[in-house]
Amino acid sequence: MKKPDFEQFRQSLLRRAKALSQQEREPFRAAIVSLLDDSGLILVQRARKDGHDPALIEVHGSWIGTDFSPDHVIQSLRDLWPGNVFASGEQKYWIEAEDEIVDLEFAWDNGSGQFVTGKIKVTV
């Protein structure tokens, strides 16, 4: 996946669909926190479900794996994501690193005119 493809998907959702309510987003936030915590690689420090449309769910964590190279963190997130967070619908994501921060941005279309977007920030 290329970043322009992800951005186009996310922008399309923002224009044509409706964001899930805060209450409807809570199971997704909880599933993302569990996915990261259960990996044994990321310690979740903060998780919000009240963000803005480009990132309705925002999760911040610290890398606790043994290899602290951003490339290894990116590959580990690719292997992990999305797990069982989204049961159906279409989901796309983008991962990039800048300095000691790895960002995973995602967007999910439930297929019924609603969406969830988010960002996972991992400090390496």
Instruction: Give the per-residue pLDDT at 92.
Output: 97
DSSP one-letter code for 112:
S
Instruction: Give the per-residue pLDDT at 86.
Output: 95
Sign of CA dihedral 67, 68, 69, 71: positive
Instruction: Give the per-residue pLDDT at 59.
Output: 97
| C-alpha distance across the termini of the chain, in Å | 23
Its pTM stands at 0.94
Domains in the chain with CATH codes: 3-123 (3.30.460)
Instruction: Give the per-residue pLDDT at 50.
Output: 86
Q: What span, in angstroms and rounded, lies between the C-alpha atoms of 13 and 45? A: 28
Burial class (CB in 10 A: 0-12, 13-18, 19+), 56: buried
**What string of pLDDT tens digits covers the 124 residues of the chain?**
688 999 999 999 999 999 999 999 999 999 999 999 999 999 999 999 888 888 999 999 999 999 999 999 999 999 999 999 998 999 999 999 998 999 999 999 999 999 999 999 999 9
